């Protein structure tokens, strides 16, 4: 069984209706979340939220627009590495850092974990690694957030052992086992960004799906109501996004808990 802990690592603001058609234009808070997953002998992270590196690497060039479009609120003391340190967990205690996708608010803290393995989609990385200038901005990718030795430390989930999913998650196809106990399974959740993945986690309470940015609010999948058209600009594949949203809809009906990275208070 996996024990799961959720951390809020900064937030950004933008009008609620960008995340959900029909919500108000009022600016809403969208937290950036990260997770610690542990059993009795291993620990993993899922995403990092914001970190000081985000400010450092969005100061110059066209990528500056990223932080103007979605103003970021973050205090260095709240970085994931610092929050973990306060719990007595150092980067050396972590076995691997799973990256849901390469948007800046999910990878800003990679440099704070200088020795551990990174785990992500090989397909997503191939499509993202060379993006610079406007195409990087359009994909919310901040190249400076990627550590110089990233490619020597990364493991692509596509090569992990394939494993059938439990009934309630089977609509997602098959899983890719992160651990030998098969209690942590990566699943592709395509659409939002290149190589976007989620994580099925077997906890004491049953399976939980960490769905990253496959939705920005439970209303997205409960009412099959997507974000505003303007959000499609950063979307990798709109059709795939809605297919994934339909799958979350079915999983939710089966009462599997779904946790999202940015679930905010929409009005």
* Residue numbers at the binding site for Zn ion (CB under 5 A): 103, 213
The sheet with strand 184-188 has its strands ordered as: 162-164, 174-177, 184-188, 197-203, 206-212, 257-260
Which of 17/194 has CB closer to Zn ion? Answer: 194
Which of 169/235 has CB closer to Zn ion? Answer: 235
Which of 102/207 has CB closer to Zn ion? Answer: 102
Q: Hey, what's the torsion of the CAs at 87, 88, 92, 95, to 10 degrees?
A: -50
- In the complex, minimum distance from the CB of residue 140 to Zn ion, in angstroms, rounded to a whole number: 6
- In the complex, minimum distance from the CB of residue 101 to Zn ion, in angstroms, rounded to a whole number: 6
- In the complex, minimum distance from the CB of residue 142 to Zn ion, in angstroms, rounded to a whole number: 12
- In the complex, minimum distance from the CB of residue 196 to Zn ion, in angstroms, rounded to a whole number: 8
Which of 140/184 has CB closer to Zn ion? Answer: 140
- In the complex, minimum distance from the CB of residue 8 to Zn ion, in angstroms, rounded to a whole number: 16
Which of 213/263 has CB closer to Zn ion? Answer: 213
- What 3-state DSSP class applies to 27? strand
- What 3-state DSSP class applies to 256? coil
Joined tokens for residue 162: 């394939």
Joined tokens for residue 26: 């009022």
- In the complex, minimum distance from the CB of residue 260 to Zn ion, in angstroms, rounded to a whole number: 11
* Distance between CA atoms of residues 267 and 264, nearest Å: 9
Report how far apart the first and last C-alpha atoms of the chain are (Å, whole number): 36
Under 8 Å between Cβ of 48 and 190: no
Which of 81/260 has CB closer to Zn ion? Answer: 260
For residue 96, what are the β-bridge partners?
44, 117
């Amino acid at each position: 069984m996996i024990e799961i802990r959720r951390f809020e690592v900064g937030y950004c603001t933008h009008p609620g209706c960008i995340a959900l058609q029909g919500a108000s234009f009022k600016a809403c808070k969208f937290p950036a979340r990260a997770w610690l997953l542990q059993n009795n002998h291993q620990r993993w992270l899922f995403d990092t939220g914001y970190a000081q590196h985000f400010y450092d690497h969005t100061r110059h060039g066209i990528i500056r627009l990223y932080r103007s479009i979605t103003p970021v609120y973050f205090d260095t003391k709240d970085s994931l590495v610092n929050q973990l340190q306060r719990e007595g967990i150092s980067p050396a205690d972590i076995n691997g850092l799973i990256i849901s996708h390469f948007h800046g608010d999910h990878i800003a803290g990679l440099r704070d974990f200088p020795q551990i393995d990174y785990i992500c989609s090989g397909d997503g990385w191939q499509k993202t690694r060379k993006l610079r200038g406007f195409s990087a901005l359009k994909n919310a990718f901040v190249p400076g957030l990627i550590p110089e030795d990233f490619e020597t430390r990364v493991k692509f989930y596509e090569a992990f052992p394939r494993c059938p999913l439990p009934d309630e998650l089977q609509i997602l196809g098959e899983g890719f086992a992160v651990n030998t106990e098969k209690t942590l399974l990566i699943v592709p959740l395509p659409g939002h960004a290149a190589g976007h993945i989620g994580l099925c986690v077997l906890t004491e309470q049953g399976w939980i799906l960490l769905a990253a940015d496959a939705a920005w609010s439970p209303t997205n999948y409960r009412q099959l109501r997507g974000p505003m058209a303007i959000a499609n600009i950063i979307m990798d594949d709109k059709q795939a996004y809605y297919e994934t949203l339909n799958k979350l809809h079915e999983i939710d009906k089966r009462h599997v808990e779904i946790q999202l990275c940015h679930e905010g208070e929409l009005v």
